[in-house]
Amino acid sequence: MKRKLISLLMLSSSISHAQDCVWELEPTPSPEGSILLFGIDGVTHDNVWSAGEQFIFNFPETKTLNYIAHWNGSNWSQADVPQPSVLRESQHLSGVLAISENDAIAVGTYNPPSGASLAQSLRWDGSNWELMESPVFPGGSGFQSIGKAGNDVWACGSKHSELPPPAASVYPMAARLNGDDWEVIFVPPLAETGGRSYNYIRAIEGATEDDAWAGGIAQEQGTGFGPAAMMIHWDGSEWSQYDLTQIVDSEQFSSIESIEVLDADNAWAAGFDYDLARQVTIPLILHWDGSAWSNIPIPTFEHSAELRAITARSSDDIYASGTKTFGDGYPHALILHWDGNAWSEVSESALTDYGTWFRAMASVNGELWAAGQSNDLGPGITHRQLDCASNCDADINNDGKLNFLDISEFLSLMPDFNMDGLFNFFDVSAFLNSIGAGCP
């Protein structure tokens, strides 16, 4: 039987089709000024949202406007969104969460007519983006991230302290969505004293309603501590601190910027650390195995490099993105990939680089999105990579190409390729036809 299979398969062994598995540049529109994207998320391949700010410089005045764009499967279009800072014209969105086809929430901050910045949140109802009521604190507040833990939606950031000095001036803030309202839940600060000490939550995600992680940065003035990466855990009833000081290299300049939770025993965090010897920032990736966070080895960069986002297709197909420099001070696109065994850098030639900062990532039905900003272009920068594996059944070994390696794998596995419950000549025929058709 196997000899007959080999004879049949060798007829196509010279065929080699490359899959469409490249990173494609898909800029969001910029009617005026420059677009900076800080969030991206979607429900289906033709329903993706990106959010950030539109920066307009007209000397001697500048203004920043809320910016949201929608991907319909073919192109981006700018959405009409509220601008709550009607007098001072200073607002921006730092994250977006797609809950369902007709429900999405974007969060950020804005400057009211007077006083400090305040948290803002906008909600998509299937037809329009509308302002929501957001937490207000004397002295100011702001949302910096949004995520889900099971069915719960959380928005996180910071709020001005209600305590007099020497208490920290900025405390962490976590708010859980209850219908259309935000319920603020106490978060113990990592930095508590020092007058100008501060705490910011920059990422949140969880496996269930009673198991969530959030991370960010904290500094305690006058103690030599920070700015340093902070991590907190939600157990369904309260937030508690997790000590990262033993697994980051520096307590002087490190941060958690993004969290991706696959399940209760498998979570990832990305951000940056500081190499004291070389005096450069270095990418930071941490992994949770169900019992402890650990620092995972990644490629070494000669000059400064940082990660701002992380997302996963599966447990052995994870991406983290940010920026790096070549010593010239200019940002360049940076994406790292986890294959289940090690992290490696995505080739620079695979990315369209216009002085790029990647600040957000999302996996939407297997399609990967990386979003950010460009120093050289006005539009918001998004890169999209199609899901190679799921779009091509004949690529048995999932390496992005059709060749003799897939044939060898087919012979080894003898899979039920046509899904009729048997392995026979019809599976071989279906496999050969799939190879001949190539990949989409």
**Could you count the other beta carbons within 10 Å of the beta carbon of residue 4?**
10
Digitized pLDDT (tens) for each residue of the chain, 440 residues in all: 444 444 444 444 444 443 446 899 999 999 899 999 999 999 999 999 999 999 998 877 899 999 999 999 999 999 999 999 988 899 999 999 999 999 999 999 999 988 899 999 999 999 999 999 999 998 999 999 999 999 999 999 999 988 888 888 999 999 999 999 999 999 999 888 877 899 999 999 999 999 999 999 999 887 777 789 999 999 999 999 999 988 998 777 899 999 999 999 999 999 999 998 888 999 999 999 999 999 999 999 999 999 999 999 999 999 999 999 998 888 999 999 999 999 999 998 899 999 999 999 999 988 999 999 998 889 999 999 986 655 567 777 655 567 777 787 788 778 777 767 778 888 888 888 777 766 65
Torsion angle of the four alpha carbons 305, 306, 309, 314, in this order, in degrees rounded to the nearest 10: 50
CB under 8 Å to 347, separation ≥6 — which residues?
none
List the one residue out of 121, 123, 125, 145 whose CA is nearest residue 134: 121
The two tokens of residue 20 are: 């469409």
Q: In the chain, what are the domains? A: 1-21+389-440 (no CATH), 25-388 (2.130.10.150)
* pLDDT score, position 13: 43
- Cα–Cα dist 50/70, whole Å: 7
* pLDDT score, position 415: 79
Are 68 and 96 a contacting pair, CB within 8 Å? yes
What's this model's pTM, rounded to 2 decimal places?
A: 0.84
* pLDDT score, position 11: 41
Helix axis angle for 2-10 and 425-437, nearest 10°, is: 20
* pLDDT score, position 9: 45
Please report, as a single letter, which amino acid is at residue 395.
D
- Cα–Cα dist 336/310, whole Å: 9
- Radius of gyration in angstroms for the set of CA atoms belonging to the chain, rounded to a whole number: 24
- Cα–Cα dist 398/63, whole Å: 47
* pLDDT score, position 418: 75
C-alpha separations of 24 from 86, 132, 353 in Å: 36, 34, 11
End-to-end CA distance of the chain: 31
